[in-house]
Amino acid sequence: MFDTANIPPLPSATDLHRLGSTTPSDSRPSLSIPALLQPFLDLATPPFIRHFLSTSTPLHVPHLSRPLPPTSFACHITITRAPAPFTSLTPHRTHAQYLFVPLSSHGSITLGVGVLHSIGTALPSDRNTFSLPFDMRFVHDAETRTLVALLDAPKSDNILLHLSRTAANLPTYTATASFPREKLQALLHPDAPPPTARAVSAALVAFSHTSQRRTCPLCPSPSCHCNVPEPPAPPLPAKNDLRLVRHSFARDAGTHLGVTSKLVFRNGLPAAKLALGAYSAFSHSYAPQNVAHFVGWSLQRYATETTQDPLHSLLALAPPEGAESQPPSATVSEVHCTDDTLTSQQHACAIDPLLQGVDASTLVDVGAASAQRAVAGVAPLALQLQGIDTSTLVDVRAANPGMAVAGSMPVAPQPILPAPSSLSVETSLQSVETSTADRREVRSVGTCAEATAGVAQSCVTSSSSEPSRGEAVAERKGDGETAEEDVRNVMRKMRAEERKIRNRESAQRSNLRKKYRRQEIRAELGVLMAKMESLRGREMRLRGENLRLRKMIKEEDAETVGRTR
């Protein structure tokens, strides 16, 4: 099935025992990587991994008490569309994808958070899972959690390497990297024979897994106890040493993200500083913030571990001609992503400068199809705002609840009319009485014309306003009581009109209160729904962890029964 003409023979358990006994003074025998796996590394390992392996300190491999025979089996590999905390990266100006291997502070390889257990073809765009048979030859000791694995891959245009948990005592660790066949020859050692068309061999170095419990920056499991030391934070470069280089990312199946970030360099090497600029549009579910997060973490470690030339060859990020003379762009909001956990504010800077300093848990998308669904509160802001128009985001807990936090069209709240008080009502009644009395008053304006030839001055009187109905009736009947009754009727009508106005204003205030209360309820409901979604996700994770623990217990029981027999 496999062409193994160019595959060196697998070292036997006797060889491992012999190599492990070369240091009798040490209780944990050391296993030299070049002595055991150099043929495999020369054959199928990229130059940067080969460099780190050849210059790293020897790995400590405990005594392999029960080496297992070579095994062949079929494996189902599940590839999710969501970004993983450890993903592949396409170097600048090339299509070959490398697997970034995290380094410890002392320079040795730390692949102990997982084990390479599957190899197959790249995933088609219309499928989520695929099955591929392959040969795995390994020796494994469950007590010491130590494994040395060698894989033989069948013919494939792209070889997909998948890191995951294989033994019950190993934590979960996932990573992917694809090596296009046409680009593989350039990655091999110059003296190594070319790979055949039917098979390519991959080797996994031996590793030791300690029992020290700590939080791993790459392992998604909260119960991870792998030993990945944190390197010291590198010093930030000076302003005059900065130069920005464009860098693009791609996913394993070959679909380019179309994402552009700006890497800050100093003296030709990454200075563990990542400036998040404006990302271009993308048409799939990969989140560019996660990719940038991973790259920032990796650059921090590589920049602090070594300053050798292979690092520069690994990233292949040589700037174009004249790049050194280009000053950093003043319009890019620089975010220092040296930490392995980005804050919501840093995520916000990558999306919209107007969202800086905004609490992500209080944002509600009022322009979404479902206005009751909050867009934040479950995950970081950058993950929740993918594909959402920021002009419709409203901060429901801000000082001005109706003010939008982004966009050119703020959602200003409508003013609420004040409730009428007893003093205002009395003032209105007094004004009504005064206006009624003024209507009864008849103002006469005399237009006098001087008569000539000793004729007496005659005055023509004209009324500036018509007499009221009460006075007209009084003039006709000559009764003052009728006028007072008519005034009372007028006052009664005015009071009725005043009541109608008050009732209309009260209804308007009630409607406004109901409107704003509905908005508050929608916002609170959106936050609660977001929390509920978070709890559902946590429940699913706990269920998966429960199933994983049960499977581990069953495997441990099976191993115990096998040892007893």
Output the CA angle 399-402-403, nearest 5 degrees.
Answer: 75
- For the chain, what are the domain ranges? 13-207, 239-342
Q: What is the mean pLDDT of the chain?
A: 42
Q: What is the mean pLDDT of the segment spanning 290-317?
A: 32
Residues 236-254 pLDDT 10s: 333 333 222 223 333 322 2
pTM of the shown model: 0.17
Percent of the chain with pLDDT over 70: 15
3-state secondary structure 217-275: CCCCCCCCCCCCCCCCCCCCCCHHHCEEEEEEEECCCCCEEEEEEEEEEECCEEEEEEE
**Is 99 in contact with 70 (CB distance < 8 Å)?**
no
- What's the confidence (pLDDT) of residue 478? 52
**Is 159 in contact with 119 (CB distance < 8 Å)?**
yes
Which of 274-283, 306-315, 440-449 is the least confident region? 274-283
3-class SS of residue 9: coil
- What's the confidence (pLDDT) of residue 105? 25
Residues 3-26 pLDDT 10s: 334 333 433 333 333 333 333 333
Q: What is the CA 272 to chain-centroid distance, rounded?
A: 20
What CA–CA distance (Å, rounded) separates 103 from 86? Answer: 14
Give the pLDDT band (50/70/90) at residue 472: low
Which of 146-155, 217-226, 324-333, 467-476 is the least confident region? 324-333
What CA–CA distance (Å, rounded) separates 244 from 430? Answer: 76
How would DSSP label each residue in 392-453?
A: GEEETTSSSTT-BSSSSS--PPPPPPPPP-HHHHHHHHHHHHHHHHHHH---EEEEEEPPST
- What's the confidence (pLDDT) of residue 479? 57
Which of 284-293, 355-364, 466-475, 525-534 is the least confident region? 284-293
Mode of pairing for the β-strands spanning 30-31 and 158-164: unpaired
- What's the confidence (pLDDT) of residue 563? 80
Which of 100-114, 431-445, 537-551 is the least confident region? 100-114
Residues 32-77 pLDDT 10s: 333 433 443 343 333 433 333 333 333 232 333 333 333 332 222 2
Output the CA angle 403-404-410, nearest 5 degrees.
Answer: 80
What CA–CA distance (Å, rounded) separates 137 from 16? Answer: 14
- What's the confidence (pLDDT) of residue 485? 83
